[in-house]
Amino acid sequence: MSQEADLQMVKKVQKGDRRAFDMLVMKYQQRIAALISRYVKDSHEVQDVAQEAFIKAYRAINNFRGDSAFYTWMYRIAINTAKNHLLIKNRRPPGSDVELEDAEFYEGSDGLKDHTTPENSLSRDRLESAVYKAIEGLPEDLKMALTLREFDGMSYEEIADVMETPIGTVRSRIFRARESVDKKIQPFLERAAV
């Protein structure tokens, strides 16, 4: 289902077709749950928060004008729902939008996926830890732009919609975030190459 198909489904929902919304839920429920799981660790709570996010989206569907992709709009609702859930539970959102397991998808880590020796495994673990700490140490705006691009695969336009900033600003933030992470992990890469 393309963005155009999503928009057609939204229009049907706005006219009262609940089955059309069910189709959107089925399409995006896994991605939204995965997104929420970055904030909410309990799997039962993740499902509850995802359901709450979809309920909020359904109730607000008449406000959706199609200025951005449906998923971009839903992404914002899900993030806000997850953060509100944590605030209500008197917990703080995590310091990073990126989990340690996601570090393997970071560009340039392909050479460290070899688990055949303890040395390689140790190097990989150290690099993952370094990437995690580097991303965690980024200012929130840089961290969010980088994770939306690298881990969620969003386009610059979608990120601009989510972050409500110009595309040029998004490009700059991603560039600065990558540069910062690269500088911090460079010593680990140099040691791994020796």
**Domain boundaries, given as residue ranges, for the chain:** 3-88, 100-193
Q: What is the pTM of this model?
A: 0.55
Identity of the amino acid at 131: V
- What secondary structure does DSSP assign to the chain, as a single string? --HHHHHHHHHHHHTT-HHHHHHHHHHHHHHHHHHHTTT---HHHHHHHHHHHHHHHHHTGGG--SSS-HHHHHHHHHHHHHHHHHHHTT-PPPS-SS-GGGGGGSTT-GGG---SSHHHHHHHHHHHHHHHHHHHTS-HHHHHHHHHHHTS---HHHHHHHHTS-HHHHHHHHHHHHHHHHHHHHHHHHHHH-
Q: How far apart are CA 76 and CA 1, in angstroms?
A: 20
- CATH code linked to domain 3-88: 1.10.1740.10
What is the structure's pLDDT at 90?
Answer: 62
At the topology level, CATH places domain 100-193 in Arc Repressor Mutant, subunit A (1.10.10)
Contact status, residue 75 vs residue 161, Cβ threshold 8 Å: no
Give the model's pLDDT for residue 57.
92
Show the tokens assigned to 187: 């010593």
CA distance 139 to 177: 9
Query: Which residue, chain included where needed, has tokens 């914002």?
Result: 76
Determine the Cα angle at 84 with ends 98 and 67, to 5°. Answer: 75
Low-confidence residues of the chain: pLDDT under 70: 1, 90-124, 188-194
